[in-house]
A = this chain, B = another copy of it.
């Protein structure tokens, strides 16, 4: 369910965050579902537990998951998008950079929208 690319320049803890969020959005993980414990996940994907911990902590801060003491970690019950101006600006920045990179491999606006639609279809 969660696959890590150790060769990626993207930190492992960020990869975990993304995979968990992706699974939630895709409905593979539903509100109330229990996540594997830190140690469990660490042994499954053979990653240092500290790294899993860091990912879970960030996910909790984002209200994507909830830690219930003594019971475990669960997908948050109610998902309310939090409109965050800073975050929105960041997204625009990232999109601009994608557009620039796309241009340099010969991907134009229409092809980029195709890619975007394709990814949404997978969700």
Contact = CB atoms under 8 A, between A and B. Distances in A.
A45 B6 CA distance: 29
A109 interface: yes
A70 to B, nearest CB: 9
Q: How many copies does the complex hold?
A: 4
A119 B96 contact: yes
A103 interface: yes
Contact residues of A: prevailing secondary structure:
helix
B119 A95 contact: yes
A100 B25 contact: yes
Given A7-B66, A116-B116, 6 more contacts: A6-B69, A11-B69, A82-B104, A95-B116, A109-B116, A113-B116
A2 interface: no
Contact of A100 (B18, B68, B88, B100): B18
